[in-house]
């Protein structure tokens, strides 16, 4: 797939995802965030586009990067972590930019605690990928690249 994508795709990670590889490996796996980011960057390179990765435990940082992606990017793949279930600010930021955004989750949020079943951001996103472990990141990038190449 040669993309023709000229602006980078952002991969954004929310709270506690900096603990990948050590936090609940039975749910989130053994890969670290650095491993996931390296796979995303390599996937982008292989498919002809740049990937910019950011992680923060602070909601405002994620809002700022969504705004930045709206100006400088082609799209966003976001794992908002727990903010998925609580953040109207992220929903508003996603609605406020004119780039496609895919929501990602490592675990299947619909098979977990009931408070994780509802996503505040899903309605603002192009789609949602969950339950495929860290492979969901490259699935999300593939989906965005296909969508953008149409």
State the catalytic residue, choosing from 28, 83, 91, 137. Answer: 28
SS3 6: coil
Q: What is the DSSP string of 102-132?
A: EEEESS-GGGS-GGGS--SSGGGSSEEEESS
Is 28 tagged catalytic?
yes
Sign of CA dihedral 34, 56, 17, 97: negative
Q: DSSP alpha helices (H): ranges in 6-87?
A: 25-28, 33-46, 59-72
Catalytic residue chosen out of the listed positions 10, 47, 83, 105: 105
What's the CA angle centered on 34, arms 148 and 131, to 5 degrees? 60
Say which DSSP state 52 is in. Answer: E
Is position 105 annotated as part of the catalytic site?
yes
Closest CA to 88 of 118, 112, 68: 118
Active site residues: 28, 105
């Amino acid at each position: 797939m040669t993309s023709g994508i000229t602006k980078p795709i952002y991969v954004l990670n929310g709270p506690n995802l900096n603990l990948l590889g050590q936090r609940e490996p039975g749910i989130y796996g053994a890969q670290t965030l650095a491993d996931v980011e390296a796979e995303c960057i390599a996937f982008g390179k292989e498919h002809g586009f740049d990937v910019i990765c950011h992680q923060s435990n602070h909601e405002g940082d994620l809002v700022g990067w969504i705004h930045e992606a709206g100006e400088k990017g082609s799209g966003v793949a976001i794992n908002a972590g727990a903010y998925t279930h609580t953040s109207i600010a992220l929903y508003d930021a996603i609605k406020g930019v004119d780039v496609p955004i895919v929501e990602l989750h490592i675990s299947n949020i619909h098979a977990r605690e009931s408070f994780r079943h509802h996503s505040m951001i899903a309605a603002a996103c192009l789609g949602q990928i969950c339950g495929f472990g860290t492979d969901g990141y490259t699935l999300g990038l593939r989906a965005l690249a296909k969508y953008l190449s149409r």
